[in-house]
Structure 1
Amino acid sequence: MGNRQINWPEESGVELAHSSGIRGSGVLVGVLDTGIDADHQEFCDQTVNYRYVPLSSFGGRDVRGFDTEGHGTHVCGIIAGKDIGIAPEAKLYVASIIESETYETTLRRIISGLDWFLEKLSELENSEQTAVLNMSLGFPSTLIHSSRYRPYLDRMRNVLLNCVEKRDVLPIVAIGNDGKGEYCYPGAFKECFSVGAVDLQGKIANFSGSGISEGTIKPDIVGYGVDIHSSLERKCEGQSIYEKMSGTSMATPYVTGIAALYLCDKPQLKAKELKAKLIETAFPLSTQPPERVGVGLARFVPQLTDRANCPKE
């Protein structure tokens, strides 16, 4: 399947936002994933801030974006692809932190990726802006009881807390694909806005995780995450490839894209206010189990205010 604009259901509000000129202009979006193919036709016309975080604990590479697997390119396409993105004018900051490896090395790399994103937000031009962070990743809840992995999870949580409290970042995180009663970290942390998956008809996906963590029902919200068409990779000849994928990994960038539309419409929103806006405007899914869909489906609802508010590049 070639490139085409995704026809999101009317309930999403995406088409309405785009027709009103709300396309994510100037909004900062961090993505921690397998990377991004910056030369895919969805991204080749923009500058993607990219950091490759190595398996070792030494350094990192700020280079032209590449993807070790394709997952991150798919996620980024949903958020900000030129033709298929929910917020196609958003500014991407992508850290490649996932490969085939151990829990320990991945956790270390995530922490390094978070530190890099915070550094980028500290730069003068970005220092006052609210940002969104997409993490379509997760670790089994059993790791929280492990003496080996718990210190890494705690450290990651502390960095995420700094993102929220000191840099006005809203972390939007997948709850996991292990089904009812199972969830993953960091999505299960209270400070993370966790995302489950529904299909395009609003029915909960069987794989979508859920549960009670620290006295809080998770997920907080849901997004479309079944058979989602997005960018993947390129052939050797350079032809861009697209594919449909399913998972809370796809639902999470959907919610991130909606959040970017709200920040474009009202750039003065703080992270807590942005979270409240997503909760307040969610589309109720009254026929679905409430413990599995949170407040409902994330959607963009137009505000009765001036539309020309988006920050410019």
Structure 2
Amino acid sequence: MIRLALFLLFLANASYGATIAIIDTGFDLDHDYLKPKILKKETDEEAIDFQGWDFFDNSHLKKPVIEDKSDIQEVLLYRTLRAKGHREGLSMEEFEWYKKKNADKTFMEKVRMFKKHSHGTFVAGIALREGENISIFPIRGLNIPNPVVVVEDNTKEGEIPLTAKTPDQKFEEDIKNSLDRVSKKFTKICRYVSNKRIEVVNGSYGITFKNIMTKFRERYKEFTGKEIDEPRLLNYTNNYFAELYRRGEKTMLRHPNILFVFSAGNSGLDNDQYHHYPSRIKVPNAITVAAMNGDYLATFSNFGKASVDIGAPGVAILSIVPKVYSQDGSDLYSPASGTSMAAPYISNLAAQILNTNPKLTPANIKRIILETGDEKTHLNDKMISGSIANNHHALKAALLSKDMSIDQAIQLGKSGLIPMEDHVNIGGLPPAVTPEEMKKKVLESFPSVITPQEVDEPEEPTTVAPAPVTKPESSLPKDPVTAPQDTSLPPPSTAPDARPESADPVPASQSVEQSPTPSEELPASSSQSAPSLPEAQSPEFAPSSP
């Protein structure tokens, strides 16, 4: 009787559909998987008439940024091997090829171009991975080129006259203008999303402490011709972030009906010690997500006992990429790693919870996700919940919350006392595919020249060295220093025998106010006990993007 009642409750909500707004760039709006799930297409008259926003066509994804087919094959292979390295390590032949490509500046620029061109599509695919009655709304702001829905920025750099000011006053005015640009755009995004009655916002991006320190150091020298002393630079940086947090918190609390899901960042740092915006803003309607490699925190993932809420899968995640890179028009998948991948996993879970019980508030959804996770002792000092999200427990609790208090629903949902039929997909219409089915589908979609495995891709590095704070240790065993043999994957058939070696760390793709730099490229290996790429030979992490 209990099972029947739960199933009937599920059917009663089958018509409800939650929407996830995705702040990102690189959306393939014509992708046959995404297109039918986009809420109110950007070409709708109603949307175009909304004051304060500009809408662009999808031409920036109708042409690939990498034209040569052999180049795209190598880029996909590189991403696959980088992901495999995070998961289980590479054979010596694979490792040598990977190392040579990583030292090729021209090739690495192509890898970065591809990432920027596909990040939004990749994140959207993860946000839609379960639950058929979920839609997305692609939106971008905060200085990312090639927009989908863009905030019309009325605060332009240099708008305030600086001529009569001293060099130091000009520098401080420049900081103020940056603060205004970031906060005003975020405010406009929130207002727009609220007016559209969109329930979940995914933000796989971040402004990092290191980026701001570097940017301010450079800008000060531009204005004054002098080097800024470190204590003063640190003071400017701390004040900048404090004001960003204050304004962001005020904006988010003004929209309590929206659940904000942010990526924690990919610098492998403690967010309690190092600034990271907006993920460090703590309000009842926001969740910050770390990337997990199995049961352990990925080595590239930021963490924080007081600032990061929960962990979700973020290593070797497979998702769709723009169709312009497919040679035969079929769906093309690629692996990636990063907190940019973990955040949409939680956004998708939040949308499924809403589809199960539309009456739940963002604060209630957050409680369910955090309190039904799988607790891990080794995560207690790494995040608030000390746990990894458990979809099954969370969705069961959401269903039970229709007839009992949140406290009781969470307790029962996590206890396993009320079993639920495996074939009942609480959050969507059809049952979710099994991991084995998904893996088979993904592997079949890869170009034949690639022999991939379920793997990942790291993030690009943030440009600045960490502040004078001791870098915290990751929660897991360190990755080995040598590339282990692996016979599970045949060596890549396209790997050339030799490449020029010009070591070049992946440059940072975040600018001072580029909040949405998506988070896919991260420090090279994840913190699973399985062997992975040696840190010395793996690419640096980059801001949040795929």
TM-score, normalising length from structure 1?
A: 0.72
Q: Residues 28-58 of structure 1: CA distance to partner in whole angstroms, max 9, x if unpaired?
A: 2121111421111221223345779xxxxx9
Post-superposition shift, 1:298?
A: 1.6
Superposed, 1:1-313 pairs within 5 Å as 25-49=16-40, 60-64=53-57, 69-80=117-128, 85-97=129-141, 99=144, 108=181, 111-112=184-185, 114-123=187-196, 126=197, 131-141=199-209, 143=212, 147=236, 154=243, 158-159=247-248, 161-182=250-271, 184-191=276-283, 192-199=286-293, 201-211=294-304, 217-235=306-324, 239-286=330-377, 288-295=378-385, 296-300=387-391, 301=393, 302=396, 303-304=399-400
Moved more, 85-94 or 263-272: 85-94
3-state SS of paired residue (1:263): helix
Post-superposition shift, 1:119?
A: 2.3
Q: Residues 241-294 of structure 1: CA distance to partner in whole angstroms, max 9, x if unpaired?
A: 3211100010011011111111111111111111111112112123x3322244
Q: Which runs of 5+ in 1 are unaligned?
A: 1-16, 53-57
> Is this contact kept in 2: 1:132–1:260, CA < 8 A?
yes
CA distance in 2, matches of 1:112, 1:23: 35
CA distance in 2, matches of 1:160, 1:177: 22
> Is this contact kept in 1: 2:248–2:278, CA < 8 A?
no
Question: Equivalent residue for 1:5?
Answer: none
How many percent of aligned residue pairs carry the same amino acid?
22
Post-superposition shift, 1:211?
A: 3.3
3-state SS of paired residue (1:235): helix
> In 2 relative to 1, CA 277–229 (structure 1 residues): closer, same or farther, beyond 3 Å?
same
CA distance in 2, matches of 1:133, 1:120: 8
Moved more, 67-76 or 241-250: 67-76
Alignment-mate amino acid for residue 126 of structure 2: I
Post-superposition shift, 1:230?
A: 0.7
Post-superposition shift, 1:224?
A: 0.4
TM-score, normalising length from structure 2?
A: 0.43
> In 2 relative to 1, CA 51–112 (structure 1 residues): closer, same or farther, beyond 3 Å?
farther
> Is this contact kept in 2: 1:138–1:186, CA < 8 A?
yes
3-state SS of paired residue (2:350): helix
> Is this contact kept in 2: 1:28–1:90, CA < 8 A?
yes
> In 2 relative to 1, CA 181–166 (structure 1 residues): closer, same or farther, beyond 3 Å?
closer
> Is this contact kept in 1: 2:179–2:240, CA < 8 A?
no
CA distance in 2, matches of 1:179, 1:107: 29
3-state SS of paired residue (2:261): strand
CA distance in 1, matches of 2:235, 2:426: 47
Q: Residues 193-239 of structure 1: CA distance to partner in whole angstroms, max 9, x if unpaired?
A: 2110112x222100011236xxxx23110110001011121226755
Alignment-mate amino acid for residue 193 of structure 1: I
Alignment-mate amino acid for residue 301 of structure 2: S
Higher RCO, 1 or 2 (CA under 8 Å, sep at least 6)?
2
Question: Equivalent residue for 1:11?
Answer: none
> Is this contact kept in 1: 2:202–2:343, CA < 8 A?
yes
Higher helix proportion (structure 1 or 2): 2
> Is this contact kept in 2: 1:194–1:219, CA < 8 A?
yes
Alignment-mate amino acid for residue 229 of structure 1: L
Alignment-mate amino acid for residue 202 of structure 1: D
Question: Equivalent residue for 1:9?
Answer: none
> In 2 relative to 1, CA 283–111 (structure 1 residues): closer, same or farther, beyond 3 Å?
farther
> Is this contact kept in 2: 1:35–1:94, CA < 8 A?
no
Q: Number of paired residues?
A: 274
Question: Equivalent residue for 2:73?
Answer: none
CA distance in 2, matches of 1:73, 1:147: 36
CA distance in 1, matches of 2:120, 2:188: 19
Post-superposition shift, 1:151?
A: 5.5
CA distance in 1, matches of 2:32, 2:178: 32
Moved more, 276-285 or 236-245: 236-245
> Is this contact kept in 1: 2:312–2:345, CA < 8 A?
yes
CA distance in 2, matches of 1:277, 1:36: 30
Higher strand proportion (structure 1 or 2): 1
